[in-house]
Amino acid sequence: MSQEKSQKNISNLLNNVNSQKCIRCGKILIVSDELTGEIICGMCGYVIADQIANMNPEWNSFSDETNKQRTGSNITLARHDMGLSTIINPINRDVTGKPLSSAIKSTVKRLRIWEKRNGAPTDKNFIIAFAELERAKDKLVVSEAVVEKAAYIYRKIVERRLTKGRNISTFVAASLYVACRITETPRTIKDIQKATNIHKRELTKYYRLIIREFDLQIPVVDPVQCITRIANNAGVSEKTRRFAVDIIHKAKQSGILEGKDPTSIAATAIYLAGKMMKEYLSQRKIASAANITEITIRNRTKALQILLEL
């Protein structure tokens, strides 16, 4: 907070640099030195502020598109090189923007080829795996934190050589599901299966292997966390959502939720809440929104109706 306040004060000084008076000598001759990142008095040399961030581009862009980026891509575990490698620019121009000669262009082309060949032995594995992870991320709409966790888990899997003789895509999908469970992101194994087109049996097998190999303690998913996603898919009103949350809280106190699938509990709570709020929601609609069967909702409905004395 103090850092933001300091940066705001510096910004105000920069915006009014010509009208500021030096607090030491009182003269109106304030100078901004971008090289040292300081605001100083031009008369007495007093440093009014320092550590000014330079927001200008670090280099010129010679492509047709405007590039205001100061640095390269972010450091991330979800890239084979973690975003730290040096990449030869694909644009065949020199520092002044002029096209390269044929001889230099040929040399640069060979360098690009060697750059790709000289990667770490695991780079090819990571390139394939993290491309799969990126596709699954877009389909599942999960946060960067979940993706980073999944990438970390997968790197540990490769480190222990568990991928030898096993399917990379299935390990990526299982890692993503583990990451969702650890971060308490409400995504079911069916959601992962649908996004990655991997058989549920294989996905479950690899998931259990990861849990066993790394001795992970997976938190139990709270059915309340599944309410928003199901309600959004089914177009449920806010009033019904809140009542569904109340139903789940009451069911928790009774202890009837132990060992039950949280998604089915959340879907059933929304269905019952809709009936009580006079908002007609068919079992088929809720089941489709939750990616479960109508029979599952009917089975859970009986237990919750007894609890709520309906």
pLDDT-above-70 percentage for the chain: 75
Query: Within a 13 Å sphere around the CA of 175, how many CA atoms are in the beta-carbon half?
Result: 28
Average pLDDT over residues 13-17: 47
Q: In what order do the strands lie in the sheet with 38-41?
A: 30-33, 38-41, 47-49
Return residue ranges of the chain for CATH 2.20.25.10.
2-49
| CATH topology assigned to domain 2-49 | N-terminal domain of TfIIb (2.20.25)
pLDDT per position as a tens digit, 181-228: 999 888 889 889 999 999 999 999 999 999 999 999 888 888 888 898
| 154-161: long-range pairs with CB below 8 Å, 24+ | 154/129, 154/130, 155/77, 155/126, 156/214, 157/210, 157/213, 158/122, 158/125, 158/126, 160/213
Which part of the chain has CATH 1.10.472.10?
A: 123-214, 223-308
Per-residue confidence band for 20, with pLDDT thresholds at 50, 70 and 90:
low
CB atoms within 10 A of CB 294: 16
**According to the model, what pLDDT value does residue 8 have?**
54
CATH topology assigned to domain 223-308: Cyclin A; domain 1 (1.10.472)
Task: Report residue 307's pLDDT band, with 50, 70 and 90 as the boundaries.
Answer: confident
Name the pLDDT band for 258 (thresholds 50, 70, 90): confident
DSSP 220: P
- CATH superfamily to which 123-214 belongs: Cyclin-like (1.10.472.10)
Instruction: Spell out the residues 6+ positions from residue 127 whose beta carbon is closer than 8 angstroms to its own.
Output: 80
Q: What span, in angstroms and rounded, lies between the C-alpha atoms of 214 and 216? A: 5
* Cβ–Cβ < 8 Å for 46, 24: yes
